[in-house]
Amino acid sequence: MAEQQLAGQVALVTGAGKRIGRSIALRLAEEGADVIVNYATSQVEADEVVKEIASRGRKSLAIQADVTKKSDVAAMFARVDKEFGKLDILVNNAGMFFAAKFEELTEEQWDRIMNVNLKSQFLCSQAAIPLLKKSQGLAHIVNISSLGGLLAWPAYTHYCVSKAGVIMLTRCLARHLGPKILVNSIAPGTIQFPGEGPDQDYIRQVPLHRTGTGDDIADAVAFLVTSKFVTGQILPVDGGRTLV
C-alpha cells in the first residue's frame, strides 16, 4: 500500500485503547488519518494511543463513551462533528468474549453480549451516517465480527449469535448505504498479543501454523478503507481456519 493513502481523512475506532482496536487506530494514523480513539473504561491506555498518534503528526482525540448507550453515542458523534466537521471511516471494534454453557447462560449475560457486540455497532453506524455523508469521497464502515459468526461454537452460542448479527448488519447496511458509503466486515481468527500463551491447538490446525496479531487485522482494515469496489463482504483473517 502506498504511504498516506488516508491523508486528510478522519477515522473513529471504538474500543481503541487496547488490543485489536489499538492496532487499527495506529495503522490508520500511519496511513495519514486523524483518529478518534473511543474507550469505555481504559482511559490510561486510550490516552497513550492518542499520544502515539500525535507523535506521528496526526490529530487524535480520546472520547469516553459507552457505545451500548444511545445517549453516549450521540454525544460522541456530536463532539466529532464539532472537532472535525466530518467522518470518513468508522471502525466498529468494541466487543466482548466469554464462554458459558447454554443451559446456564443467564438473561443478563445474553443481553450484555448482544449490547456490546451488536447493539453498539447498530447505534454507532446509525449515528455516524450524517457525518460519513459529509466525506468528500467514498466513506467506509468496517465492522469487526468473528469466525464465531461463521462457525458454530456451542460453548459460545451467545457470542456466535451476536457476531452473526454483525455479519447480517454489515450486509444490510452495504445495500442501504451504497454507493456513497461502503460497508464491510472482518472476521478475525484467534488473535494473540505479547505475554499471552500461544494457542497450540489453533496453531496445529491452521495452514499458516500461527495465530494472528493485531497488525494482521489492522492490515485488513487498511485494505478495506482504501477499497473502492468492495462492499458487503465478510473477510476472514484467520490463517486459513475456515478451511479446516
The catalytic residues are 159
Residue partners of 6: CB distance under 8 A and separation at least 6: 28, 31, 32, 33, 88, 89, 225, 226
For the domain that residue 149 is a member of, what is the CATH number?
3.40.50.720
Whether 4 is covered by a domain: the verdict is no
User: How do residues 75-94 score in pLDDT, each as one tens digit?
Assistant: 999 999 999 999 999 999 99
Whether 39 is covered by a domain: the verdict is yes
C-alpha distances (whole Å) from 123 to each of 60, 90, 201 are 22, 12, 36
Whether 87 is covered by a domain: the verdict is yes
Mean pLDDT value of segment 7-35 = 98
In this predicted structure, the answer to whether residue 205 has a pLDDT above a threshold of 50 is yes
Whole domain around residue 153: which residue ranges?
10-243
Angle CA(230)–CA(150)–CA(132) in degrees, nearest 5? Answer: 35
For 101, the 3-state DSSP assignment is coil
Whether 3 is covered by a domain: the verdict is no
pLDDT band at 209 (very low <50, low <70, confident <90, very high): very high
Percent of the chain with pLDDT over 90: 98
Whether 29 is covered by a domain: the verdict is yes
Whether 2 is covered by a domain: the verdict is no
pTM: predicted TM-score of the whole model, two decimal places? 0.97
Whether 5 is covered by a domain: the verdict is no
Whether 183 is covered by a domain: the verdict is yes
Number of domains in the chain: 1
